[in-house]
């Protein structure tokens, strides 16, 4: 695994374990991956591809994290959602981070494509 991909995997695992907070607590995984200094060419593509195989997926490719009370698009954009990274909604997002990290390890060639390292 190259250095850039290892950095992404380490960051995703740190978010998953709640060791470090994402830079923007009001944004999801895609946006926060895009804020990383190493640069991710297609963060949304990476998350969508990995989320496709996530057993907990909401079924919405653009908003794969399920919310216990709202449809995924509404939950993501709701002013009632205090932070996308707290409560059960946040726990589900952190589990998706771990799934993406595992997916990157299992599919490094595909992951590198999304990182712009193809």
- Please list, in sequence order, all residues whose beta carbon lies within 8 angstroms of the beta carbon of residue 44, skipping any fewer than 6 positions away: 30, 62
Amino acid 98: pLDDT: 98
* Mean pLDDT along residues 12-29: 95
Query: Which pLDDT score, from 0 to 100, does residue 82 have?
Result: 72
Which residues touch 19 (CB under 8 Å, ≥6 apart)?
none
Cα angle value 95/101/107 (rounded, 5°)? 130
The whole-number pLDDT of residue 104 equals 96
Residue-level pLDDT at 57: 96
Q: What percent of the chain has pLDDT over 70?
A: 97
- For tokens 């195989």, the residue is 53
Instruction: List b or e across 32-52, with b for residues whose CB sees 16 or more CB atoms inside 10 angstroms.
Output: bbbeeeeebebbbebbbbbbe
**Per-residue pLDDT averaged across 11-33, rounded?**
95
Give the tens place of pLDDT for each residue, 64-95: 999 999 999 999 988 666 789 999 999 999 99
CA distance readout (Å), 104 to 44, 71, 99, 113:
14, 27, 9, 11
Identify the pLDDT of residue 40.
79
Output the pLDDT for position 51: 94
């Amino acid at each position: 695994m190259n250095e850039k991909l290892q950095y992404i995997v380490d960051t995703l695992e740190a978010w998953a374990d709640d060791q470090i907070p994402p830079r923007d607590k009001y944004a999801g995984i895609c946006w926060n991956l895009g804020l990383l200094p190493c640069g991710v060419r297609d963060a949304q593509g990476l998350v969508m591809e990995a989320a496709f195989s996530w057993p907990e997926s909401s079924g919405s490719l653009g908003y794969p994290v399920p919310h216990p009370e709202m449809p995924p698009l509404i939950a993501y954009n709701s002013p009632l959602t205090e932070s996308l990274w707290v409560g059960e909604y946040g726990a589900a997002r952190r589990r998706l981070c771990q799934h993406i990290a595992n997916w990157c390890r299992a599919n490094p060639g595909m992951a590198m494509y999304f990182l712009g390292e193809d």
